[in-house]
Amino acid sequence: MPIMSRLYDVIVIGSGVGGYTTAIRLSQSGLRVLLIERKLIGGECANYGCVPTKALYSIAKSVRQLRVARFSISWSGNPLEFAREAAAKAREGIAYLLDRYGVEIVYGEARVARNAVVKVLTKNGRVEHYEYRYLVIATGTEPRALPNIPIDEITVLSNRGFLNLDELPSSVIIVGGGAIGVELASILANIGVKVRIVEVAKDILPGMDIDIVRTVKRFLREQEVEIFTSSTIEEILKTGNQVEVKLSSGPRIQTEKILIAIGRRPQTRELGLEEINVRVDSQGYIVVDSYQRTSNPKVFAVGDVTGPPLLAHKALIEGRIAAHTILGRKVVGYLNREIVPVAYFTIPEIGSIGLSEDAARKRGYKVRCVKIPVTVSSRAFIEGCEGGFIKIVMDETSGSVLGLHMVGPNASELASVGLEIIERKLELETVASRPYVHLTAFEILRELAETVLGEPVNIYIPKR
């Protein structure tokens, strides 16, 4: 039999959202594509992030909804098992698509070398060599650890280890009050886990609009989540199945598990990027231009490995840009990282896009903010979100929308509509005239637009 060539039009390293979608787009156009994956097809999102956490969220939201309706409930089952099943389904679907589109897959540790070669250390210990015309790096990020508290994935867990537990713990301390920590805290608290958040900063959700922070803290406390800010873990003492944790702020707390959620770091250190003159920034993220090209014209990078925001939908668009550039197609709509929608699946949800009020002021805008309660829609009462809000941040001089922020029912979907408002400079008069479906988040947005225009219907504002 003839020996198959090891030369590929494109090699993609990493099969997360950025990697697998780029590989499929290129293969659809007739290129020979090799995808190299170190562990599981689908990467962080499908296996440890977006998919399994949303599976847990769906359970937590259902339980909370029954409580809001004053149902007496009891339930049994393993939410983590359901989360793993959801991840497996996503993984199987991605693998099916890659196969049907003719993308070749190799499993192993990739390291780049000179002369357009990628070396792969396979699971059987062999080192295989593959050549490329173009290379796409989509290796993503990995959990960041604390220097004094090593992650053993038994008692001290990363998000990956937590999702692989046999069953939910009775209690957990989440170290880190950012996106991952707060989202998991809300989800777990609603399915019966005693949750405490330990955050080194003065507040949770750094960088988010202050009204989001205040509102989410109030909901978390209603869900019996304890929050310790300006605190670190000084000491851990294991006693049987429990752990005693001493905080720098004074308290000693008993817990079953500790979950480290202090952020992510790029998986670039072992790739050998210096061999092919690919530049990284001070944190190790790969530096790219608006076409996703690196400092090496034959090498592209997409997804979390290129830096914040670390979001799957950003990775997908970056992959589309890279694929179109490699194919010589016109790239329509460059990615503006400042207006990528953000959604946290807390209960209730957080949706945010654009500048916070504080960020807008720091940039010198003459800021006008309008905030209304989500109770303008009966959906807020139905879902127990009566303390939520929607807020618009505007430049008073030009009237342009700078940011849109919401805590409330289906706020995650609202953030995407905010993208159209900010990017396309949609007039609020237009938003106010849209027949958005009744009792949806979009209807709350319309009410906000009418309030800005001085024409609110479902909220009373006294005449001056």
CATH code, domain with 33? 3.50.50.60
323 close to 23: Cβ distance less than 8 angstroms:
no
First to last CA, the chain: 87
Percentage of the chain beyond pLDDT 90 is 87
Domain count across the chain: 3
Same domain, 306 and 399: no
Tens digit of each residue's pLDDT (9 = 90 or more) over 83-129: 999 999 999 999 999 999 999 999 999 999 999 999 999 988 999 99
CA distances from 140 to 17, 18, 166, 269, 312 (A): 9, 9, 27, 12, 10
Percentage of the chain beyond pLDDT 70 is 99
Same domain, 131 and 269: yes
Is 457 contained in some domain? Answer: no
* pLDDT at res. 462: 82
Q: How confident is the model at residue 411 (pLDDT cuts 50, 70, 90)?
A: very high
Same domain, 42 and 101: yes
CATH code, domain with 404? 3.30.390.30
Is 463 contained in some domain? Answer: no
* pLDDT at res. 348: 96
Task: Give catalytic status of residue 405 as yes or no.
Answer: no
Q: How confident is the model at residue 5 (pLDDT cuts 50, 70, 90)?
A: low
* pLDDT at res. 2: 40
pTM above 0.85, yes or no: yes
Same domain, 18 and 110: yes
* pLDDT at res. 440: 87
Same domain, 136 and 32: yes
The mean pLDDT of the chain is: 94
Q: Considering only residues 213 and 74, tell me which one the structure prediction assigns the higher pLDDT.
A: 213
Is 2 contained in some domain? Answer: no
Tens digit of each residue's pLDDT (9 = 90 or more) over 39-82: 999 999 999 999 999 999 999 999 999 999 999 888 888 999 99
* pLDDT at res. 351: 96
Q: Which of 225, 246, 262 is the last residue of a domain?
A: 262
Cα–Cα distance, 46 to 315 (Å, whole number):
13
Token digits of residue 37: 């994956």
Q: Which of 337, 372, 391 is the last residue of a domain?
A: 337
* pLDDT at res. 188: 98
Same domain, 183 and 195: yes
Span 387-408, average pLDDT? 96
Q: Which of 211, 243, 262 is the last residue of a domain?
A: 262
Contacts of 391 (CB under 8 A, 6+ apart): 209, 211, 357, 369, 370, 371, 372, 404, 405, 406, 448
Res 1 pLDDT > 60:
no
Span 381-406, average pLDDT? 95
* pLDDT at res. 68: 93
Is 331 contained in some domain? Answer: yes
Same domain, 253 and 276: no
CA distances from 342 to 87, 269, 307, 395 (A): 22, 28, 15, 21
Is 383 contained in some domain? Answer: yes
Is 151 contained in some domain? Answer: no
Cα–Cα distance, 393 to 339 (Å, whole number):
13
Same domain, 219 and 367: no
Span 1-15, average pLDDT? 79
Q: How confident is the model at residue 4 (pLDDT cuts 50, 70, 90)?
A: low
Can you list the alpha helix ranges (DSSP code H) found in 223-281?
Answer: none
Same domain, 179 and 216: yes
Same domain, 14 and 134: yes
Q: How confident is the model at residue 239 (pLDDT cuts 50, 70, 90)?
A: confident
Is 12 contained in some domain? Answer: yes
Same domain, 368 and 424: yes
CA distances from 195 to 217, 415, 440 (A): 13, 28, 30
184 close to 208: Cβ distance less than 8 angstroms:
no
Same domain, 370 and 308: no
* Domain range enclosing 324: 7-143+265-337
Is 215 contained in some domain? Answer: yes
